[in-house]
Amino acid sequence: MKPHKIAVIPGDGIGVEVIAEGLKVLQAAGQKAGVSFDLEQFPWGAGYWLEHKVALPPDALDILGRFDAIYLGAVGLPDQVPESVGVGQVVLGIRSGFDQFANVRPVQPVGGCPWYLQHRKSEDIDFVVIREATEGFYCNIGGRYAPAAAEVADIIPMRPAFVRSKEIALQTGVFSEFGCRRVIRYAFELARRRDGRKRVTSTTKSNALTHAMGMWDQIFEQVAGEYPDCEHEWAHVDALAMRFITNPERFDVVVASNLFGDILTDLSAVLVGGLGFAPGGNLSETGPSMFEPPHGSAPDIAGKGIANPIAAILTAAFMLECLDELEAAGLIRRAVALVVEAGEVLTPDAGGTATTEQVGDAIATMLQQ
């Protein structure tokens, strides 16, 4: 069998540290399951920008397009590089470049992880949040204008505060019928494949964002009609955020637009013990998908050896699953579960004293047993 070609971008801050442990466990799982990898690392990110004034070289997408998947650590050095550089050029650049339309965040707590909801049991929680990842307000369309600018001439009279302002900023969200339908349909297809209740929950704010969210709601009902074997429901995003905390066990698959999904996925990380336990991936139908733990570069703890690598390790398992290497993915998840449940080798964010490397070693060792 040909090896899977994986492009590795450790990135910045703790990204370098957690990806090293993710690769350690990935290769251990491959050896156990008979899966091989052709790994190539690239130094792109905010640190690369400091030297080259670009976070990605001009031919980056051409290079990455030759790989089966992309394994990204984290990008960003907020005290040194504008956040628009790391996120805009690397994360959003790759997502849009390969049309990675579905940001997928599994919400399945590992036994023994930090648990913050005393009124619910962690073993009852098992759902997935699907975030549309290429449209909405992240298209970066708009600008900042003086009140006399022609671009805001029709806007100024709308509110007294606009008239009194020295500057007006416009941030335009773009929602396409195809983009909405595609990600909603993916959510229903995923619900069919899961062992859960086959329920899809959509969230919008159509009482305030009438044009875009109204279209999303309409498309959701149309797509739901194509899946009579699946339940479907809808909630405003503010109400859904509350329900994530009050009764998260009711959910199976949740689908949301880019901005709302961004907020809800970080909220859902609370339900798996924090961002240090939360895997994620950006899926494409036409090019390589990119898999990244969503915790960010955390430069305040970079180099201290205390970053939790479990999110990066579970992200590697998710990548294997999407590459149809189900045995290897299962081996990683089992090893993570056993180490976390034992509670002896955990980083400080999970109540332990272990280092990043020690956690990776423990999981790799457990995987071989």
CA separation for the pair 17, 306 (Å, rounded): 9
Angle, alpha carbons 296-186-106 (nearest 5°): 40
Side-chain-side CA neighbours of 264 within 13 Å: the count stands at 36
Where does the chain have alpha helices with state H?
14-33, 46-52, 60-64, 83-85, 92-97, 160-163, 177-193, 210-224, 237-246, 258-269, 310-322, 326-342, 356-367
Q: Is 138 part of the annotated catalytic residue set?
A: yes
Among candidate residues 32, 145, 205, 227, the one labeled active-site is: 205
Among candidate residues 38, 62, 238, 300, the one labeled active-site is: 238
Among candidate residues 12, 126, 252, 262, the one labeled active-site is: 262
Instruction: Give the list of residues 6+ apart from residue 353 with CB closer than 8 angstroms, or none.
Output: none
Q: Is 238 part of the annotated catalytic residue set?
A: yes
Q: Is 266 part of the annotated catalytic residue set?
A: yes
Distance, first Cα to last Cα, the chain: 24
Among candidate residues 138, 186, 252, 349, the one labeled active-site is: 138
Q: Work out the number of other CB atoms within 10 angstroms of the CB of residue 157.
A: 9
Which residues on neighbouring strands pair with residue 298, listed in sequence order?
none
Q: Is 262 part of the annotated catalytic residue set?
A: yes
Phi and psi at residue 11, in whole multiples of 5°?
A: 85, -130
Q: Please give the positions annotated as active site.
A: 138, 205, 238, 262, 266
